Structure 1
């Protein structure tokens, strides 16, 4: 972690680093620097220079962090080909994160892609990889439930509150105390639409400081019960030696609230709320252990969904690799189309509008060179002719009877598929 911190890049330093990568010879490169990773995704011109390209990227990162290349090699890793593609897809789909399924990872990947594009370092190869990664992440989000379920105490508290109250728009909360965990919960509630937050503490100046940070109000009531009656959510984080909220106060507040439910999150250590409050009608008390239990269930749920997500990643990697192999045939296909078009134009010109003559001329010319090559191969080693015959039969779907062979259609690519001709 210490080494990673040294080579990490802040957002404002990414453009300069990308410029450095361009200057040292990388024509396509993307940098991803988050709290979990520092990575360079780059493209080698061909397999022969793949190792050199990776070393160039590593040296640039070592130079930036002021560390030795040897230290970086010892802790780093290099993935190539399908392994690199799989890694990119998994990162975008949030399968390679400390918290599986967190959506902010995809935003970070997209930000890295946008920075690379702005620096002119996204060519056709890297563009295809990243667009496929984004499509994979979208499939994972839509076809699995990997992003569902809380994974932290704060997100667990939000889920419980939403289960109880529905949308938090229109809800009011009371922050009782100035503990750090209480602030984290308050921020989480605000991020999910909490309308009003009131802060109450033994020392008013501390309540005012927290209220300023959270854009909240400071309690103006003398009696605690008045604040509780006005709150749909109560966050307790005083952590004193005595309970600040007892069952009698909770019962009186419940009557004044006309039985409207209240969610009480006691995140203080030791607890602020008398356990008997849980017996009060419409008072739902959760302490730290309860909330951590909800979070653990959420994490277990996401891990269970991860296998389905990995299956999608494997499918998309296979599809990407199949497309990559097929693109290798594009140049010769283009030449073949051009050759056929030239011969068609010549045949039409020489036939002077006679369609029958034009088609006979075209067929004769297109078959002349392949026929001559097959005859030439016939006098050579038998295996050469057999190979040429097999290729010809496959290209034109020929059978022994002269009937056209059935089109087998495209096959679904898999990771294990042998894509060699």
Structure 2
């Protein structure tokens, strides 16, 4: 049984294509059941996000299974196979395991280290578990992927630094002030960038939010969203001293905040520090404001420099994450190899023990003058013979389960001894899953 992955992502397909093959998160039962009803497929999980659509499945026919899943994606979404094929990738075996581990650890994300993808995979797995389309292999596989992702986040700093301009502003504010819980943010402008940055500041515990905008109604709406206070634009410099952090992003074609304005504000604040963030292009704040005592000014170039530095740091941490994934792949391969080996060992022992018991029973039924302890001694003798006979083949099977050609050995032993899957094997599989 092999794990396969078939899908597309932001790396291989445009938004237009990704939209066409997306699955609705509220209607997952139908496509999941359709995948496991494909002749070559035994288990399936569907992951569908804005940046990727992937199907994780198990099959004994790798080429046939991957081809069938590709055809399913085209047919289900009524897209021609010729249109979809160039955007699809398909992995099996170690490559499939590596791919999913990397996706779960956010190494394959548009922004390396972002946390959303792990939750999205967990949700997708939840649907598969609910509709019983995942089984022993994918259950263990996805749980392993979750633990790998957790280990990556614990043992590396892949998600510890800001890689968006709006969050970089928060990171800089924390470096300047440390604790933000007693700080107030003033938004000069009510556009998307200001709104996003305000959300980051609120998530990091700022005390209050003030909003000013040339259109006062827009300022009121945004202030209401953040449970803050709207300020009329003409009252900006009367209220500026109340802000510890000022985030400006307007459409002005000239500086709206100048050094003299800030000098007066700092005097009113009794030299308490202020942090100005100018994310407007062209700039809203005169660069000379940075020369005012106890004032810190960062513009878009400064913030993008921080982001670039942090992205480089994440790239270095990603190398550590890849090493963790290499290690975890080996451990998972050992387990999945044992899925083939262990049931074969159980079946082989059962076959020999059944023969031993039958032959011993025949012998005992015709032995008239058997000593008192004869039956017990014959039981021990035949057990010892079977154990010695089975030791070499079982040792060889266990060795292949640690990295050899498991399929060749397992198939040979099953053919030579005519082994069939039985209850004992199913029990052992269940124990392996636990």
Partner-residue secondary structure (3-state), 2:26: helix
CA distance in 2 between counterparts of 1:223 and 1:211 reads 16
Partner-residue secondary structure (3-state), 2:271: coil
Contact preservation (8 Å) 2:107, 2:113: yes
Partner-residue secondary structure (3-state), 1:141: helix
Alignment-derived partner of residue 399 in structure 1: none
CA distance in 2 between counterparts of 1:136 and 1:229 reads 48
Partner-residue secondary structure (3-state), 1:43: strand
> Is 111-120 or 288-297 further displaced after alignment?
111-120
How many pairs does the alignment contain? 382
Partner-residue secondary structure (3-state), 2:90: coil
Q: What TM-score do you get using the length of structure 1 for normalisation?
A: 0.81
CA distance in 2 between counterparts of 1:327 and 1:77 reads 27
2:58 to 22, 31, 43: 43
CA distance in 2 between counterparts of 1:116 and 1:13 reads 12
Partner-residue secondary structure (3-state), 1:78: strand
1:15 to 5, 24, 29: 29
The structure in which a higher percent of residues are strand is: 2
Alignment-derived partner of residue 381 in structure 2: 364
5+ unaligned residues in a row in structure 2: which ranges? Answer: 1-13, 365-369, 410-434
Counterparts in 2 of 1:102 and 1:392: CA distance versus 1, 3 Å: closer
C-alpha distance after superposition, 1:46-93 (max 9, x if no partner): 2xx333322332222212322112222222111111111111111001
Q: How does 1:260-339 map to 2 (within 5 A)?
A: 260-335=272-347
Alignment-derived partner of residue 383 in structure 1: none
1:28 to 43, 48, 52: 43
CA distance in 1 between counterparts of 2:371 and 2:346 reads 26
1:189 to 180, 201, 207: 201
Alignment-derived partner of residue 198 in structure 1: 210
> Is 162-171 or 287-296 further displaced after alignment?
162-171
Q: How does 1:164-175 map to 2 (within 5 A)?
A: 164-175=176-187
Alignment-derived partner of residue 255 in structure 1: 267
Cα distance, 1:196 vs structure 2: 1.5
2:238 to 219, 226, 231: 226
CA distance in 2 between counterparts of 1:183 and 1:393 reads 65
Counterparts in 2 of 1:301 and 1:411: CA distance versus 1, 3 Å: farther
CA distance in 2 between counterparts of 1:9 and 1:220 reads 46
Contact preservation (8 Å) 2:104, 2:118: yes
C-alpha distance after superposition, 1:103-161 (max 9, x if no partner): 11111111111111112111011101101111111111111111111111011111011
Counterparts in 2 of 1:367 and 1:203: CA distance versus 1, 3 Å: closer
